[in-house]
Homo-oligomer: A and B are copies of this chain.
């Protein structure tokens, strides 16, 4: 894949998320999906999709005169890449200090804490 999956703009990320949820979407599809949160012009979405295709982030195929886009990078890949990049540049690679900051400044429900403990147990199993 592209080595620069981290460093995606906000709009690019939202478009990718839209495509992950609804693969093979036309410009109109993406545009109307994003309409409520960002009141963008149709051409803004179209232009961004074209730019993203040039960067290899999405691909398209044509049906009649309409382009249908799909993501060319996996959600897992992007999330991992962006997440790791953040931990690296902010916390020198220390996952625990990253989580520490998150935990100490966010409201975290008990259910989420339960979930986290399960994840830790699973991680222990894996490294055993």
Contact = CB atoms under 8 A, between A and B. Distances in A.
A127 B106 CA distance: 11
How many protomers of this protein does the assembly include? 2
Interface string A100-115: 1111111011101101
Interface stretch (A39-47, A54-62, A66-74, A90-98): A90-98
13 contacts: A13-B89, A76-B101, A83-B101, A86-B86, A87-B106, A94-B112, A95-B103, A95-B106, A96-B116, A99-B102, A99-B116, A113-B124, A116-B116
A74 to B, nearest CB: 12
Contact of A84 (B100, B105, B108): B105
A79 interface: yes
A103 B57 CA distance: 25
Given A83-B102, A87-B102, 12 more contacts: A10-B89, A79-B91, A79-B101, A82-B86, A83-B90, A83-B98, A96-B119, A98-B102, A113-B124, A116-B116, A116-B120, A120-B120
